[in-house]
């Protein structure tokens, strides 16, 4: 349950982050949001790994052959912990590049602030960065496509009549978030 | 010699059970936990008895041959359970259910038992619904019913095609609740291999732990056998693989009489045999006959696909011969008619040993959806097994051994000829006479377990002086050793034939000579060949593995050893009963129209057999049957 | 019934053989020759076993009883799929017409810590029974029931309860779940009873106790992978899991609010 709640926070939190981070606004609220975000991220990572370890133990030995026919299940659901981990590295690396990256200053309307725009443009001028980002973001999409549906299911927000809707919402959300993020590096790369 | 006292209470048929209950001795609730009751078999009868006795406060030990009681063979019953609720307001009543059952049993059942069964049928439905059994309902949310073979009213309650499963889960979960509160101790993967009788009373059992191979002794003040039927004597039947006569047979060898072994029911609607490797037959619920029409081509050897045979070249033989019951004629009648058609060379399918069960007309009338709602899972099952789609082509069916009306003899209290040994469900002989009506076995199993045994076992315990015994008692030691030795013997023969091959051969003999039609010459032949096969078994069987661990072949071997004795008794009983009645059809005794001909003058009795020792002819005892309420009449379904 | 497409095929079986729970296991190859495509999978194994016995070997142990898909005894992995390639089918109802001549088939037992291997393809699933004893019932003693029709149940609920109640306790859900979670099994029972008026009184204790027992047995947690429902021979729906979660959250909150102690596992 705690795991689920942690995830929920993250889920809500990451939305808050998106607004915050990418709107480039500032103020006190940032730090609160930041703290909540970091906390929930860490909780999520911790719980996710613990859950996976516990579940592995519950399984014991693995099968010699994996289901391949009618009964196989979605790839993303089986591999949450792997793309989860890659996303984590992505986030860390991402923070290193941006948050703790080169500090440019600029003055807008008389206020001195960090010129994040310049950094972004610089970074995404490098095609390797762009490719790496895109791969990671695709994984994020996969992670979310299962994750959000799973979240709904875990909170019991599902019933026979809504099963299709649940899957659709999950997919849609993942695509919007994933697609939205993917669009940025591509846009920056090609526009500059 | 024990005299057969059926202990039928006095009074009018309606009052017997209530008066009897009132007259019974009671065990003080505080004293109940001092009594240990063993229940063997956890099907409907066993699980319901264990649950109810546990609730009352007795110490119950329940023995389950599987890893879980939910796997007992009651789980396979599809069609439904009867009860005289008259919810459909079609004129049903306790008396009518009683009447139908006595008549359906071809006047070979005890009136008093049958009436009690009809009486408590009503409580069974209440109990099951309270437990959460999800019976089918109509749009008003009330219970739905359907009609079943041998009845003209709709009194069958059902849960799609999985009635037995749902009822069993009800009884099983009631029992598991008692397991949780430690009133019932569940011993799983145990097979009973002997009954221990001390001072003439049943005092415990010997079981083999099927996991460890250990042979164990268990002491009790009363033993209930609820170990099901013995159709597997035919090798191919609708019974599960672990259904066996072993528990009943070992009790028989300890002095419990075996009643009417020859009464076996051959079910008309099973999926026909496909080949040599076939291990069991699958029943298609008889409820299918509500909407399916049974037919064969009019012309011999007509091999055209069903769809190409026009209506006027089809013989809807049940409708033709029995206009008022039509496709719902009782099981024995329907089975025999199917056999005649096949014998005439009018069978269908590649083997020619099958008849059609056709849904074309009801699909046209009601639509595929309505049919799917009623029988969806059965159709699916059929398609899975045969690879054919019954919505498009008729099903092919053929009769198969299905239920055994015979069983250990019990009195009105369900106690056998060994005091303290009670027998419930299909394992006893009590309520169905020579033929059981559809949807009545589930009813009987639950009646015995929920509503009869809890009273009669208490009555026995309260009225009996029982000395303390322990597994160190000579009686236990002797039985324990006997079991151990027999198992060792089976392992040590190391002959050349597998258990399976003996079982198959016995099955073929039984089906041929003691199946749907029996005659003197055939039965005599079987009585010669079975002892020979038995002798070969004990000299030439090959049982791999050892005693001390999981060994399914050893389990099978000891079951087949018992079938090899019991099959012989069935043939003997069939030979002695020189009449045709219900599931026992002696070809010499039939009317000019080919209908069964009873001989009430000479055979209106229960035949109860007493064991005399290995390879000795058993002796016959008779319990006369009297019919005071339903007048003896020829059964007619025309 | 010998259908018209009936023919004989040869197969190679790669079967997990393990003497007991503490022994090491390994795969052993067996030839299954001339198998009729009308035979069931277990009938095919019977024939292989007859051959093994004739050759003086130890036959392959597997659980089975009814052989008509209802008792829940049978079940093992066939090429990584619980109960084999067909949907809504138990091993005993799987027929050889779904295999091709020359196929090599891998048979493995259910794998889960909570299901110790007994021998070969046989495992111990009594943990499922203990989940039921923890609360999978309505506490009504024999003889105390009211008239059955005094308790109408909306047809829709009755049908949905029935569908959840068709679970046969085979354990395929656990076996196919990468987390060895018994969530589908448990949720099927919780759904069956919480949909019916009879099940209301004990609704909250039931879900809390059954889930506690499930955890205590060492089953994994559900991460909504969905393999269970795909493998379930009775097609128990994933929404039963959502229902369990809903029931659980509601019960846990109520328990907290009422501050009362509920019986444990
Ligand atoms: C396919 C099929 C469909 C049916 N459909 C219907 C129907 O629709 N309506 C109806 O009324 N009836 C039906 N019947 C009949 C009915 O299901 C059975 O007669 C009834 O369920 C028997 O219940 P029981 O409790 O007496 O025995 P069972 O449920 O057979 O239980 C006995 C158990 O004891 C076990 N056992 C045997 N020997 C030993 C031993 N030595 N030690 C320990 N355990 C042992 C057996 O393995 C078995 O599991 C059907 C039967 C079959 C086979
Ligand atoms: C391609 C798309 C993305 C771009 C262009 C981008 C850009 C940025 C920039 C410029 C910052 C620095 C903000 C600041 O320091 O003020 C930042 C911070 C951050 N980003 Fe991204 N980002 C992208 C995708 C993502 C994704 C997909 C995630 C997470 C899954 C993510 C997580 C974070 C986090 C956690 C921070 C730190 C926020 C903080 O300061 O607390 N970003 N991002
Ligand atoms: C090491 C890092 C990570 C691991 C091990 C991990 C693991 C998991 C696992 C196992 C789940 C499934 C839980 C369930 O279904 O109950 C999950 C769900 C989820 N993850 Fe991650 N994850 C990681 C990083 C991330 C990141 C960086 C994000 C966001 C950008 C994220 C977003 C989500 C969301 C929204 C869910 C669904 C919430 C839920 O089901 O409870 N995860 N994660
Ligand atoms: S839920 Fe399905 S797979 Fe799981 S035990 Fe029940 S029937 Fe088997
Ligand atoms: S496969 Fe396992 S993860 Fe959940 S949805 Fe089914 S229990
Ligand atoms: S053997 Fe009963 S379900 Fe397969």
- Provide the pLDDT for residue B561: 98
Decide if C65 touches B, using CB distance below 8 A.
yes
Residue nearest to atom 33 of ligand 2 (CA): A91
With b for 16 or more beta-carbon neighbours within 10 A and e for fewer, the B338-355 pattern comes to: bbbbbeeebbbbebebbb
**If 0-12 CB within 10 Å is exposed, 13-18 middle and 19+ buried, where does residue C106 land?**
middle
* Binding-face residues of C in 132-161 toward B, CB within 8 A: 132-134, 136-149, 151-155, 158, 161
Residue B486 CA, ligand 1 centroid: distance in Å? 27
Among residues B264, B256, B251, B279, which one has the least CA distance to residue B562?
Answer: B251
- Provide the pLDDT for residue C258: 62
With beta carbons under 8 A apart, name residues in chain A contacting C181: 55, 58
Alpha carbon of B150 to those of B203, B431, C128, C236: distances in Å?
Answer: 41, 16, 40, 35
B32 three-class SS? helix
- Provide the pLDDT for residue A37: 76
Mind telling me how many Å the CA of C96 is from chain A's nearest CA? Answer: 16
Only one residue has tokens 């049978």, namely C74
Residue nearest to atom 28 of ligand 2 (CA): A91
Mean pLDDT of the B150-168 span: 91
Q: Note the pTM of the prediction, 2 decimals.
A: 0.92
C155-165 vs B163-180: helix axis angle to the nearest 10? Answer: 70
C68, C135, C151, C154: best to mutate for the B interface, most B CBs within 10 A: C68
Mind telling me how many Å the CA of A180 is from chain C's nearest CA? Answer: 26
- Provide the pLDDT for residue A104: 76
Atom of ligand 6 nearest to the CA of C65: 1
Beta carbon of A133 within 6 Å of any ligand 2 atom:
yes
Residue nearest to atom 36 of ligand 3 (CA): A147
- Provide the pLDDT for residue A169: 83
Decide if A58 touches C, using CB distance below 8 A.
yes
pLDDT higher than threshold 90 for residue B15: yes
- Provide the pLDDT for residue A17: 42
A66, A68, A71, A150: best to mutate for the C interface, most C CBs within 10 A: A71
Asked whether the beta carbons of residue C178 and residue A59 sit closer than 8 angstroms, the reply is: yes
Reported as a pLDDT band with limits 50, 70 and 90, residue A98 is confident
Decide if C12 touches A, using CB distance below 8 A.
no
Q: Which of A60, A80, A156 sits opposite C242 (nearest CB)?
A: A156
Decide if C230 touches A, using CB distance below 8 A.
yes
**If 0-12 CB within 10 Å is exposed, 13-18 middle and 19+ buried, where does residue B483 land?**
buried
B102 three-class SS? helix
* Binding-face residues of C in 127-156 toward A, CB within 8 A: none
With beta carbons under 8 A apart, name residues in chain A contacting C223: 51, 55, 77, 80, 150
Among residues A140, A139, A120, which one has the least CA distance to residue A130?
Answer: A120
Q: In chain B, pLDDT over 90 holds for what percent of residues?
A: 87
Contact B434, B331 (CB under 8 A): no
- d(CA C65, CA C93) in angstroms, rounded, equals 12
Residue C221 CA, ligand 3 centroid: distance in Å? 14
Which among A16, A18, A21, A106 is the best mutation to test ligand 2's pocket, defined by most ligand atoms within 8 Å of the CB? A21
**Which residue on chain C is closest to A67 by alpha carbon?**
C80
Strands C8-18 vs C25-36: parallel, antiparallel or unpaired: antiparallel
- CA B47 from chain centre, in angstroms, equals 16
Q: Which of C85, C177, C243 sits opposite A69 (nearest CB)?
A: C85
pLDDT, chain A, mean: 75
Phi, psi of B39 (to 5 degrees): -120, 125
The beta strands (E) that lie in B271-316 are given as: 293-297, 314-315
pLDDT higher than threshold 90 for residue B48: yes
Residues 6+ apart with CB under 8 A from B141: C152, C153, C154, C155, C158
With beta carbons under 8 A apart, name residues in chain A contacting C16: 64
Beta carbon of A138 within 6 Å of any ligand 2 atom:
no
Atom of ligand 6 nearest to the CA of C233: 3
Decide if C100 touches A, using CB distance below 8 A.
no
- d(CA B172, CA C196) in angstroms, rounded, equals 18
Mean pLDDT of the A30-51 span: 80
Which among A49, A51, A147 is the best mutation to test ligand 3's pocket, defined by most ligand atoms within 8 Å of the CB? A147
Mind telling me how many Å the CA of A188 is from chain C's nearest CA? Answer: 36
* DSSP line for B56-88: HT-EEEEEESSSSGGGSGGGG--S-EE----TT
With beta carbons under 8 A apart, name residues in chain C contacting A159: 239, 242-243
* Length of chain A (residues): 192
What the block records as the tokens of B540 is 């030439």
**Which residue on chain B is closest to C146 by alpha carbon?**
B126
- d(CA A122, CA A101) in angstroms, rounded, equals 11
Beta carbon of C232 within 6 Å of any ligand 4 atom:
yes
- d(CA C11, CA C211) in angstroms, rounded, equals 42
- d(CA B271, CA B439) in angstroms, rounded, equals 19
Mind telling me how many Å the CA of B253 is from chain C's nearest CA? Answer: 27
Query: What interface predicted TM-score (ipTM) does this complex get?
Result: 0.91
Beta carbon of C233 within 6 Å of any ligand 4 atom:
yes
The count of other CB atoms within 10 Å of the CB of residue C105 is 19
Q: In chain A, pLDDT over 70 holds for what percent of residues?
A: 78
Mean pLDDT of the B313-320 span: 95
- Provide the pLDDT for residue A1: 37
pLDDT, chain B, mean: 95
Reported as a pLDDT band with limits 50, 70 and 90, residue A30 is low
Decide if C126 touches A, using CB distance below 8 A.
no
What the block records as the tokens of A117 is 């725009």
B227 three-class SS? coil
**Which residue on chain B is closest to C264 by alpha carbon?**
B180
Question: Which of A10-19, B215-224, B454-463 has the least mean pLDDT?
Answer: A10-19
Residues 6+ apart with CB under 8 A from A178: A137, A138, A140, A141, A144
pLDDT digits (tens, 9 = 90+) for B4-14: 999 999 999 99
- Provide the pLDDT for residue B635: 67
Q: Which residue has the higher pLDDT, B552 or B303?
A: B552
Residues 6+ apart with CB under 8 A from B564: B502, B506, B530, B533, B534, B537
Only one residue has tokens 């992505």, namely A90
- Provide the pLDDT for residue B2: 64
What the block records as the tokens of B234 is 């035919």
- Provide the pLDDT for residue B150: 63
Asked whether the beta carbons of residue C155 and residue B138 sit closer than 8 angstroms, the reply is: yes
Rg (CA), chain C: 21
- d(CA A3, CA A45) in angstroms, rounded, equals 9
**Which residue on chain B is closest to C21 by alpha carbon?**
B211
**Active-site option among B108, B208, B250, B331:** B331
Q: Which of C1, C67, C71 sits opposite B349 (nearest CB)?
A: C1
Question: Which of A21-35, B278-292, B551-565, C228-242 has the least mean pLDDT?
Answer: A21-35
Decide if A176 touches C, using CB distance below 8 A.
no
- Provide the pLDDT for residue A163: 74
**Which residue on chain C is closest to A2 by alpha carbon?**
C249
In the 8-state DSSP scheme, what is residue B143? B
Instruction: Report which bound ligand comes closest to the CA of B231.
Output: 1
Mean pLDDT of the B82-89 span: 96
Mean pLDDT of the B42-54 span: 98
- d(CA B322, CA B430) in angstroms, rounded, equals 29
Low-confidence residues of chain C: pLDDT under 70:
1-5, 258-265
Residue nearest to atom 2 of ligand 1 (CA): B77
With beta carbons under 8 A apart, name residues in chain C contacting B136: 158, 162
Q: How far apart are the first and last CA of chain C?
A: 48
Mean pLDDT of the B65-89 span: 95
Q: Catalytic residue at B331?
A: yes
Mind telling me how many Å the CA of C214 is from chain B's nearest CA? Answer: 15
Atom of ligand 6 nearest to the CA of C74: 4
The beta strands (E) that lie in B214-263 are given as: 215-219, 222-225, 258-259
Q: In the structure, do chain B and chain A come into contact, i.e. share 3 or more CB pairs under 8 Å?
A: no
């Amino acid at each position: 349950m705690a795991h689920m709640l942690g995830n929920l926070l993250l889920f809500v939190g990451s939305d808050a982050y998106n607004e915050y981070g990418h709107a480039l606004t500032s103020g006190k609220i940032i730090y609160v949001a930041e703290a909540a975000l970091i906390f929930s991220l860490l909780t999520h990572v911790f719980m996710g790994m613990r859950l996976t370890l516990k579940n592995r133990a519950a399984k014991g030995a693995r099968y010699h052959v994996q289901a391949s026919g009618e009964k196989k299940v979605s790839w993303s659901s089986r591999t949450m912990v792997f793309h989860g981990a890659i996303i984590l590295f992505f986030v860390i690396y991402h923070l290193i590049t941006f948050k703790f990256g080169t500090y440019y200053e600029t003055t807008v309307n008389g206020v001195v602030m960090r010129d994040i725009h310049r950094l972004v443009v610089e970074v995404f001028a490098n095609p390797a960065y762009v490719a790496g980002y895109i791969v990671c973001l695709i994984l994020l999409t996969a992670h979310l496509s299962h994750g959000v549906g799973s979240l709904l299911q875990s909170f019991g927000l599902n019933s026979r009549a809504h099963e299709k809707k649940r899957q659709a919402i999950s997919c849609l959300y993942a695509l919007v978030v994933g697609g939205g993020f993917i669009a940025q590096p591509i846009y920056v790369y090609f526009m500059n | 010699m024990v005299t057969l006292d059926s202990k039928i209470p006095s009074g009018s048929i309606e009052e017997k059970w209530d008066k009897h209950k009132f007259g019974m001795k009671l065990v003080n609730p505080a004293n109940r936990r001092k009594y240990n009751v063993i229940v063997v078999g956890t099907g409907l009868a066993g699980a319901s008895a264990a649950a109810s006795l546990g609730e009352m406060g007795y110490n119950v030990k329940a023995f389950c041959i599987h890893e879980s009681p939910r796997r007992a063979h009651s789980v396979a019953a599809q069609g439904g359970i009867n009860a005289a609720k008259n919810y459909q307001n079609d004129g049903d009543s306790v008396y009518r259910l009683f009447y139908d059952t006595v008549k359906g049993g071809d006047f070979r059942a005890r009136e008093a038992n049958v009436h009690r069964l009809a009486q408590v049928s009503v409580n069974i439905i209440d109990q099951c619904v309270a437990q959460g059994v999800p019976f089918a309902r109509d749009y008003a949310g009330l219970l739905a019913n359907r009609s079943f073979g041998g009845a003209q009213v709709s009194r069958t309650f059902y849960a799609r095609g999985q009635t037995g499963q749902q009822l069993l889960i009800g009884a099983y979960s009631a029992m598991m609740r008692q397991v949780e509160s430690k009133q019932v101790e569940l011993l799983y993967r145990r097979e009973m291999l002997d009954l221990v009788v001390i001072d003439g009373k049943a005092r415990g059992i010997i079981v083999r732990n099927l996991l460890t191979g250990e042979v164990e002794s268990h002491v009790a003040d009363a033993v209930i056998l609820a170990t099901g039927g013995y159709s597997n004597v035919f090798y191919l039947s609708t019974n599960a693989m672990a259904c066996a006569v072993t528990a009943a047979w070992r009790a028989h060898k300890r002095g419990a009489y075996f009643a009417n072994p020859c009464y076996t029911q051959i079910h008309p609607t099973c999926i026909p045999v496909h080949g040599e490797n076939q291990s069991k037959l699958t029943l298609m619920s008889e409820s299918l006959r509500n909407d399916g029409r049974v037919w064969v081509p009019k012309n011999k050897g007509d091999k055209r696909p069903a769809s190409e045979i026009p209506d006027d070249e089809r013989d809807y033989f049940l409708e033709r011969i029995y206009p008022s019951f039509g496709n719902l004629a009782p099981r024995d009648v329907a089975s025999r008619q199917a056999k005649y058609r096949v014998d005439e060379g009018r069978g269908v399918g590649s083997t020619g040993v099958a008849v059609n069960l056709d849904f074309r007309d009801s699909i046209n009338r009601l639509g595929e959806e309505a049919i799917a709602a009623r029988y969806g899972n059965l159709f699916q099952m059929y398609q899975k097994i045969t690879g054919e789609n019954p919505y498009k082509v008729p099903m092919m069916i053929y009769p198969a051994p299905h239920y055994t009306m015979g069983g250990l003899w019990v009195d009105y209290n369900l106690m056998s000829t060994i005091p303290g040994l009670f027998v419930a469900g299909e394992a006893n002989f009590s309520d169905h006479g020579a033929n059981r009506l559809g949807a009545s076995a589930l009813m009987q199993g639950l009646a015995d377990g929920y509503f009869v045994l809890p009273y009669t076992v208490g009555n026995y315990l309260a009225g009996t002086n029982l000395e303390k015994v322990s597994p160190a008692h000579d009686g236990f030691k002797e039985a324990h050793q006997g079991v151990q030795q027999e198992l060792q013997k089976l392992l040590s023969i190391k002959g050349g034939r597998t258990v399976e091959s003996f079982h198959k051969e016995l099955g073929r003999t039984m089906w041929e000579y003691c199946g749907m039609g029996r005659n003197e010459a055939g039965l005599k032949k079987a009585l010669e060949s079975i002892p020979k096969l038995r002798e070969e078994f004990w000299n030439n069987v090959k049982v791999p593995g050892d005693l001390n661990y999981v060994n399914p072949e050893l389990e099978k071997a000891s079951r087949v050893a018992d079938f090899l004795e019991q099959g012989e008794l069935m043939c003997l009983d069939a030979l002695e009963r020189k009449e045709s009645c219900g599931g026992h059809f002696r070809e010499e005794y039939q009317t000019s129209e080919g209908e069964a001909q009873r001989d009430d003058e000479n055979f209106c009795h229960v035949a109860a057999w007493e064991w005399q020792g290995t390879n000795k002819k058993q002796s016959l005892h008779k319990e006369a049957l009297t019919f005071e309420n339903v007048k003896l009449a020829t059964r007619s379904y025309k | 019934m010998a259908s018209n497409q009936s023919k004989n095929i040869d197969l190679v079986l790669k079967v997990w053989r393990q003497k007991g729970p503490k022994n090491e296991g390994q795969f052993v190859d067996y030839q299954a020759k001339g198998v009729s495509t009308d035979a069931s999978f277990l009938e095919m194994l019977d024939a292989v076993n007859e051959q093994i016995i004739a050759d003086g070997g130890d036959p392959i142990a597997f659980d089975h009883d009814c052989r008509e898909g209802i008792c829940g005894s049978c079940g093992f992995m066939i090429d990584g799929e619980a109960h084999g390639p067909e949907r809504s089918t138990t091993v005993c109802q799987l027929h050889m017409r779904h295999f091709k001549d020359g196929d090599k088939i891998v048979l493995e037992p259910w794998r889960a810590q909570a299901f110790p291997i007994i021998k070969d393809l046989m495992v111990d699933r009594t943990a499922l029974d203990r989940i039921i004893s923890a609360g999978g019932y309505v506490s009504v003693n024999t003889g105390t029931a009211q008239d059955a029709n005094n308790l109408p149940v909306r047809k829709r609920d009755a049908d949905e309860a029935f569908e959840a109640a068709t679970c046969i306790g085979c354990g395929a859900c656990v076996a196919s779940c990468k987390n060895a979670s018994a969530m589908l099994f448990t949720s099927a029972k919780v759904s069956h009873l919480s949909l019916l008026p009879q099940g209301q009184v004990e609704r909250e204790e039931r879900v809390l106790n059954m889930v506690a027992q499930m955890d205590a047995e060492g089953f994994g947690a559900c991460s909504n992978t969905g393999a269970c429902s795909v493998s379930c021979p009775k097609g128990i729906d994933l929404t039963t899991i959502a229902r369990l979660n809903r029931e659980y959250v509601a019960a846990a909150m109520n328990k907290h609010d009422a501050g009362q102690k509920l019986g444990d596992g």
